[in-house]
Chain A
Amino acid sequence: MTTLAAAVPTALDAPGARSRRCDTTGLSVCLTAQLFIKLAAVSAVVFLLLGGVAAILLALTRWQAVHLLRVDWFYRILTFHGLNMLIFWILFFEVAILYFACTVPLNSRLFSRKVAWVSFAMMLTGAVMVNVVVLAGKADVLMTSYLPLLAHPGFYLGIILVAVGTLVAVFNFFATLHIAKRDRAYEGTVPLVTFGALAAAIIAVVTLLHGAIVMIPTFTFSMGWTAEPDPMWYRMIWWGLGHQSQQVNVCAMVAVWYLVGQLATGAKPVNETVCRGAFLLYILFINLASAHHLLVDPAVGATWKIWNTSYAMYLAVLASMIHGFTVPASVEMAMRDKGYVKGLFGWVTALPWRNPAFSAVVLSILIFGFIGGITGVTLGTQQINIIAHNTLRITGHFHATVVGGTTLAFMGLAYYVIPLIFRRDFVWRTAARVQPWLFGGGILMVSLGMSFAGSLGVPRRSYDIEPAGVFGPAAHLFLGVMGLGALVAVAALLLFCILCVGTLLFGRPNSGRAMADWGVAQRVPGVKAGLFEHDHWAMKGTIALTAVFLACFAVYYFANWKALADVWPAQ
């Protein structure tokens, strides 16, 4: 062992380690990791707030009856919204999750404080730069910024800084895993949460490299140093970044599902191998799935499209379907073990519904699975894409996955992160219990409004549908539903931000005692543990739920083939 490693103990329980013991969980927390979890989480929430304010302006513009913004500001705010929500809020929060997952469960210190500072400074500078350039009106190019539409060089440079800064954080994560293993901060296999974070980190590396490949030549082109990159090449590589970044979110989200499931009900994976195998499928097969953004593009042949969307995408879909079973199954098994054994769903009413983290995760699973997953797989089918490409159906889909799924799960996690890492109990707990339901309900309306309007042909990324004159009252109604849903969802988002900030400022410090409990599932008195340990059919409610899910999936999928068969023959 090197002297350097000896000077700074890796294991947090070693003498001289810069750590504290968590008064709630008894786990050791690396103080450096804690600092950067705080910095990343606070920045994330600030970007979420910015994106939320933008969301309301956009929804009130696309809601034709209101039509709030001027046309140039609509596209400007749309660019701003996409970048803050899909990139900045989520990336910053994921860095917080990574730093947590490689230190706390492994009893390890963070590899390097300096590297973490470099990463944070780059990410923050980049994000601020992008936002300033966009709001200054120098980059009305939307999030995708398809060439030859060109933005100010500062826009591309900002994105490159964010991407490289995130890569540096991912490096810090890998290095921490390495030193923790080398110095035996823990023995055996990493926990599932860390494994999920590891999968997310590996996909993130591939994603961010795509980002570098596409953004660097675009930046040099915008500076006038190099020739224009080919627009089709740009689209292909951009989606290697754009789609995979969402798979990073899926991985992180699933890890949060397992984590909160455990915290609130004591659930443990029914089968570690299956859960880990599903994460492995993500790593191996998600990369090519980004092909489904190019299904009606010129110059990419049918064979390439079919191959990439079938073999790779469906193996990743399989992974999501596995998690969609194992997470509720593990919760149900935990509940049955506690004595809630009546019927198919007797355990459901006994779940800790007053725990906002838990209700957020349940809603996240339901919205992600039933709306986001089913629509995503269907829209990503080579031929069906003809009746969906660039319509609001696409937007409806990803508001269910990224907002109803990932954002809601991350919000849920925050209900634990703040008491445990910032060591303050939440203020206004009644409001906190309502917040996930409001947000989930609002975003469900947004997603459904968009999806139905998109089915009627309403385009995404469009300021106004009146000039076309072909979108009737039904389309206007659905845009209204979307607008109302957005009002509810953004109100819940503001409530979330108020609760977080209020807690940081006024929350009662909880050092020296356990955090105020949100509610966990209690054991029925007198029930012995382990009654169902070897019963592999005990998760009856989950079996019923997943059967319903599969039926919905099949109906929706084939209904779309039917709708496709009704349009003109086209090749």
Chain B
Amino acid sequence: MSLSIPDRDWYKAPVGAEKLWIGLALIWCLVMSVMMPYWHFRGKQNSRGEAYAVTPAAFYERAEQFVAANKVGERDGVPIVEPAPGGEAYLVARMWGWYPILKLRQGETYRVHVSSMDLNHGFSLQPLNMNFQVLPGYDHVLTLTPTSKGEFTIVCNEFCGIGHDRMIGKLLVE
């Protein structure tokens, strides 16, 4: 009984169906354990967490240089910036917006540096539904390869104050 003192000889190895279930459960857990390293080498979606320490001011300066050098247009006062294929891109998160609008090419790989000027933010690319955490003080490098064309929306999905739900950005892929 679970509420009373067990018999003196309560120590017994599992037998029968119980033993079978423990074995099956263990095998299943091992399968799940193996899936992650497997995907790390064979899969294409892996969050490596590559990041560098950076002050918000220094990050912003680099983002400004990047915008000045690669600006191709403007929408509602936000610059549209096209990085070189295979190159670096910068994305600034701050209350409550994303800066600038990135214009990428399908099939090319980019190193997108994301950092926050103030609080934690969430980089959530919709409607693809890819999500990453953005922190102040950390230059989080996302190595992305767009495989679909169109206009994508970056939604902030980490609470960052009253205007959080209006923190919307755009990402274009041609």
Contact = CB atoms under 8 A, between A and B. Distances in A.
A296 B132 contact: yes
Interface stretch (B1-9, B62-70, B82-90): B1-9
Interface stretch (A160-168, A269-277, A351-359): A269-277
B172 interface: no
B55 interface: no
A268 B2 CA distance: 6
B78 interface: no
B18 A297 contact: no
A569 B128 CA distance: 12
B127 A271 contact: no
Contacts of A309: 36
Q: Indicate the member of A71, A190, A571 with the most B CB atoms within 10 Å.
A: A571
A477 B68 CA distance: 44
A148 interface: yes
Which of B19, B36, B40, B164 has the most chain A CB atoms inside 10 A of its CB?
A: B36
A298 B122 contact: no
B136 to A, nearest CB: 6
Interface in A137-151: 140, 142, 146, 148-149
Contact of B2 (A191, A329, A385): A191
A535 B50 CA distance: 55
Contact of B47 (A255, A302, A553, A568): A302
A456 interface: yes
Interface in B116-144: 118-120, 122, 124, 126-140, 142-144
Nearest to A266: B1
A75 B37 CA distance: 38
B35 interface: yes
B15 A305 contact: no
A467 B138 contact: no
A186 B5 contact: yes
A543 interface: yes
A207 B162 CA distance: 31
Given A381-B35, A389-B132, A462 B1 contact: no
Interface stretch (A83-91, A210-218, A312-320): A312-320
Interface in B91-127: 109, 118-120, 122, 124, 126-127
Contacts of A464: 165
Interface size class of B (residues with CB under 8 A): 35 or more
B81 to A, nearest CB: 19
Contact of A272 (B6, B36, B43, B162): B6
A388 interface: yes
Given A318-B25, A318-B26, A391-B129, 8 more contacts: A188-B5, A302-B47, A310-B37, A390-B133, A459-B155, A568-B128, A570-B144, A571-B50
Interface of A: 71-72, 75, 105, 140, 142, 146, 148-149, 186-193, 230-232, 235, 255, 258-259, 261-263, 267-274, 294-302, 305-306, 309-311, 314-315, 317-318, 321-322, 325-326, 329, 377, 381-383, 385-391, 455-457, 459-465, 467-471, 535-537, 539, 542-543, 546, 550, 553-554, 557, 561, 564-565, 567-571
B25 A321 contact: yes
B49 A299 contact: yes
Contact of A191 (B1, B36, B132): B1
Nearest to A535: B16
B75 interface: no
Given A273-B14, A459-B157, A554-B28, A105 B51 contact: no
B77 interface: no
Contact of B144 (A140, A325, A568): A568
B129 A456 contact: yes
Contacts of B50: 298, 571
Contacts of B49: 296-302, 305
B157 A390 contact: yes
B37 A306 contact: yes
B103 to A, nearest CB: 15
Contacts of A455: 129
Contact of B127 (A235, A274, A457): A457
- Residue with the greatest number of chain B CB neighbours at <10 A, chosen from A325, A383, A460: A383
Contacts of B130: 386-387, 567-568, 570
B146 interface: yes
B15 A570 contact: no
Given A191-B5, A301-B48, A568 B146 contact: yes
